[in-house]
Amino acid sequence: MCEVCPTPLGSAPSDDRPAVDCNIEAPPLRVDATAGGNNETKQTRSHPSQPPSRVGPYLLFESCEREVTYRAVHTSTQKQYTCQILPLQGFQERLAAYDRIGKHDNICGLQDVVVGQDNLYVFLPDHHGDMHAFVRSRKHLDEEEAGRLFVQMLNAVTYCHHKGVILRDLKLRRFVFMDKYR
């Protein structure tokens, strides 16, 4: 399953609520290719040889890909997550899109949020790569597979637009695989 990771959000009114115009990484959009505590470290580590940083019940490890996200592990459950770090200033507006979108099969939802001294740590489900890396590794997708993936991507984007959330900076890296078999 592939999910979209919406990015900076804008809005288009589709109901009586005002449009959302948030400058945030929106929830990841997912595609299926087969069908808190206050414990915060001062600095997030991005080099794999350095020890992890602790944020509430999570350990943050190396940064993921080219995005400003980190691999995280919950210390009690050992479950893996992806963590986005946002500045505290204006975080309510930045997270408004998650509330507005709600639950959808092709959109990653928030798993947890930890408020630190200087930052907000948003925990999303761990994923198995993005659409950009998948397409580059395959070099060629047959029409049936490409169509199946595109329908899921379109479904997620359409749902966001119907909820008044416009996805800015939409690109293949925003679509992540939730299924390890893609």
Which domain CATH number covers 16? Answer: 1.10.510.10
Question: What is the C-alpha to C-alpha distance for residues 21 and 33, in angstroms, rounded to an integer?
Answer: 31
- Taking each helix axis from N to C end, the angle separating 143-162 and 91-101, rounded to the nearest 10 degrees, works out to 110
**Residue 23 located in a structural domain:** yes
Q: What is the pLDDT of residue 13?
A: 37
Quick: pLDDT tens for 34-80. Answer: 433 344 443 444 455 678 889 999 999 877 655 678 889 999 999 99
Q: Is residue 54 part of a domain?
A: no
Q: What's the predicted TM-score (pTM) here?
A: 0.70
Strand partners, 83: 70, 123
- Phi-psi region at 46: left, alpha or beta (left = phi > 0; alpha = psi -120 to 50): alpha
Assess if residue 134 is contained within a domain. Answer: yes
- Report if residue 58 sits inside a domain: no
Domain count, the chain: 1
Residue 92 lies in a domain: yes
Q: Is 144 exposed, middle or buried (0-12, 13-18, 19+ CB in 10 A)?
A: exposed
In a domain, 64, yes or no: no
104 belongs to a structural domain: yes
How much is the pLDDT for 48? 52
What is the reported pLDDT for 78? 95
Query: What's residue 168's pLDDT?
Result: 80
| pLDDT mean values, one per 10 residues, the chain (182 residues) | 48 40 46 44 48 90 73 94 89 86 88 92 89 90 93 93 88 86 66
Instruction: Give the HSE-up count for residue 156: Cα atoms under 13 Å, Cβ half-sphere.
Output: 29
User: What integer pLDDT is reported at residue 36 of this predicted model?
Assistant: 36
49 within some domain: no
Print the domain residue range for 130.
2-35+82-177
